[in-house]
């Protein structure tokens, strides 16, 4: 765990900030700094800390300071449940900045009962139906939309008229990995793609050889990888060693600007679904992030998850602002559902939440690793069909 992040979490938890006239607005901040997704979590945590400091230096929200109440939970759902109860019962937070799918899905009944807006790093489609999860707001394009983007790409690029394309799913053995799989099975049937294999890999992956050898027997043309950036290179490297010809497409949390370095030659040709700007991308808000970073901790480096940390604070702050001087959980929820094509500083496509659909966007980018660099293939959109909501 970096000293910078630890220091930031301690300062925010202690409230070591300039005095504001009114009581601070408290946000719960759940982060993984030590568990299997800490390669994402450290940057997310720093992005949240920086975004809050940036806003507080400019007067906070409606004249009130934002205070982060932070808990590190190691990607362990029982610890997340305990942290959530602390946020709600002891800290009296207005909103929670959540984290992973296993914990967010486990918390669904508590969140609904307590009426606490929960803006999460989990993009599980199971969190997108406000009839079932009215206070859950995924912080990016949902995993079900992403797996549909994958299969649309397969269908659009397939040129062999003698047979259907064959695909496989490779996914982590946890709620995050499994989140889009049932919807993926249904969509494959709907659009005429042969799903020939599914391989389940451990959350912490050291070797994927056995799974890939099993998959090789089914000879898929494409495989969709649904696991974390830290573990995708294991799959790519083992596939490269085995000489597999399968083309890989990776979800948003599995491929970013770090992947070419982590996977080397094995990353060449891999395709990713990009949900958020990468570090240094030419988008309107990037200069603000980079200038803040250079001023306060310019000696370290960051990747896409850092931008996600900023993103979720920006969205939360806008909702709190719209909720007025005395915000409640209900008014913040309603404010989030009032966002229409909300400009996230260009870090993502604009966000829209409604009281019928908590999918913030149906747009993303397809990127591909070429010559050791991540390059843009094209912008993509998936139909916002209501039959996929909550799936």
Q: Which of 20-34, 40-54, 210-224, 259-273 has the lowest mean pLDDT?
A: 20-34
Question: For residue 17, what pLDDT band results from cuts at 50, 70 and 90?
Answer: very low
Does residue 34 have a pLDDT over 70? yes
Q: Encoding tokens for residue 131?
A: 């009839």
**How long is the chain?**
391
Beta bridge partners of 353: none
Give the pLDDT of residue 51.
98
Q: What is the pTM for the complete model shown? A: 0.94
Closest CA to 228 of 292, 176, 189, 280: 176
- Pairwise CA distance, residues 102 & 339, whole Å: 27
Region 33-54: what's the mean pLDDT?
97
Structure token digits, residue 234: 């294991």
Stretch 150-174: mean pLDDT, rounded? 97
pLDDT band at 10 (very low <50, low <70, confident <90, very high): very low
Q: ∠ CA(189), CA(194), CA(197), 5° rounding?
A: 115
User: Is pLDDT of 1 > 90?
Assistant: no
Q: Tell me the domains of the chain and their CATH numbers.
A: 3-141+279-360 (3.40.50.2300), 143-274+364-388 (3.40.50.2300)
Q: Is the pLDDT of residue 18 over 50?
A: no
Q: How far apart are CA 96 and CA 27, in angstroms?
A: 5
Question: CB of 115 within 8 A of CB of 47?
Answer: no
Burial of residue 303, with CB atoms counted within 10 A of its CB: 0-12 exposed, 13-18 middle, 19 or more buried: middle
Residue 3 has pLDDT above 90, yes or no: no
Tokens at 13, concatenated: 């938890």
Given a contact cutoff of 8 angstroms between Cβ atoms, the answer to whether 310 and 253 are in contact is no
Computed over every residue of the chain, the mean pLDDT equals 95
Q: How far apart are CA 27 and CA 12, in angstroms?
A: 11
> 271-274 and 25-31: which strand pairing?
unpaired
Q: What pLDDT was estimated at residue 15?
A: 44
Residues 248 and 233: their CA atoms lie apart, in Å, by 11
Whether 3 contacts 194, CB under 8 Å: no
Q: For residue 223, which phi and psi values (nearest 5 degrees)?
A: -135, 140
Q: What is the pLDDT of residues 238-294, one digit of tens each?
A: 999 999 999 999 999 999 999 999 999 999 999 999 999 999 999 999 999 999 999
Of the pLDDT bands very low, low, confident and very high (cuts 50, 70, 90), residue 22 is: confident
Residue 7 has pLDDT above 70, yes or no: no
Beta strand 363-370 with 271-274 is antiparallel
pLDDT of res. 4: 52
Band (375; pLDDT cuts 50, 70, 90): very high
Alpha helices of the chain — where are they, by DSSP H?
A: 3-14, 38-57, 77-85, 101-114, 143-157, 175-178, 181-191, 209-218, 232-242, 259-263, 286-297, 304-322, 329-336
Inform me whether the pLDDT recorded for 14 exceeds 50.
Answer: no
Q: How far is the C-alpha of 20 from the C-alpha of 39, rounded, in Å? A: 34
Residues near 339 by beta carbon (within 8 Å), at least 6 away in sequence: 315, 318, 319, 351, 352, 353, 360
> pLDDT digits over 62-76, tens only?
999 999 999 999 999
Task: Determine the straight-line distance between the first and last CA of the chain, rounded to whole angstroms.
Answer: 35
**Gap between the Cα atoms of 22 and 247, Å rounded:** 56
Decide if 325 contacts 308 (C-beta within 8 A). no
pLDDT single digits (tens) 48-100: 999 999 999 999 999 999 999 999 999 999 999 999 999 999 999 999 999 99
* pLDDT tens-digit readout, 182-202: 999 999 999 999 999 999 999
The tally of CA atoms less than 13 A away on the side-chain side of residue 97 is 33
Q: What is the pLDDT of residue 6?
A: 52
Kindly report the number of other CB atoms within 10 A of residue 324's CB atom: 12
């Amino acid at each position: 765990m970096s000293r910078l992040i630890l220091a930031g979490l301690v300062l925010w938890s202690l409230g070591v900030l300039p005095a504001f006239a009114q009581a601070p607005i408290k946000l719960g901040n759940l982060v993984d700094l030590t568990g299997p997704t800490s390669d994402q979590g450290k940057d997310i945590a720093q992005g949240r800390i920086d975004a809050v400091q940036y806003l507080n230096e400019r007067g906070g929200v409606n004249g009130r300071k934002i205070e982060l109440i932070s808990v590190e939970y190691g990607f362990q759902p029982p610890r997340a449940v305990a942290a959530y109860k602390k946020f709600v019962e002891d800290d009296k937070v207005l909103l929670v900045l959540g984290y992973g799918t296993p914990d967010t899905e486990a918390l669904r009944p508590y969140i609904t009962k307590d009426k606490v807006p929960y803006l999460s790093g989990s993009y599980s489609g199971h969190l997108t139906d406000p009839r079932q999860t009215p206070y859950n707001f995924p912080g990016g394009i949902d995993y079900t939309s992403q797996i549909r983007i994958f299969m649309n790409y397969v269908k659009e690029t397939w040129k062999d008229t003698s047979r259907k394309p064959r695909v496989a799913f490779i996914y982590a053995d946890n709620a995050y990995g499994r989140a889009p799989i049932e919807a993926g099975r249904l969509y494959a049937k709907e659009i005429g793609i042969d799903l020939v294999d599914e391989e389940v890999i451990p959350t912490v992956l050291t070797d994927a050889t056995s799974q890939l050898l099993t998959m090789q027997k089914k000879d898929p043309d494409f495989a969709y990888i649904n696991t974390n950036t830290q573990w995708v290179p294991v799959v790519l490297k083992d596939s490269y060693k085995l000489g597999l010809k399968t083309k890989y497409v990776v979800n948003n949390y599995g491929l970013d600007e770090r992947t070419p370095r982590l996977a080397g030659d094995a990353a060449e040709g891999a395709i990713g679904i990009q949900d958020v700007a990468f570090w240094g991308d030419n988008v309107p808000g990037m200069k603000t992030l980079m200038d803040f970073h250079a001023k306060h901790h310019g000696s370290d480096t960051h990747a896409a998850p850092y931008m996600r940390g900023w993103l979720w604070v920006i969205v939360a702050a806008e909702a709190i602002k719209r909720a007025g001087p005395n915000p409640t959980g209900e008014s913040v929820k309603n404010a989030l559902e009032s966002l229409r094509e909300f400009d996230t500083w260009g870090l993502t496509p604009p966000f829209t939440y409604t009281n019928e659909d908590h999918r913030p966007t149906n747009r993303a980018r397809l990127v591909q690793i070429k010559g050791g660099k991540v390059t843009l293939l094209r912008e993509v959109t998936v139909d916002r069909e209501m039959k996929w909501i909550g799936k």
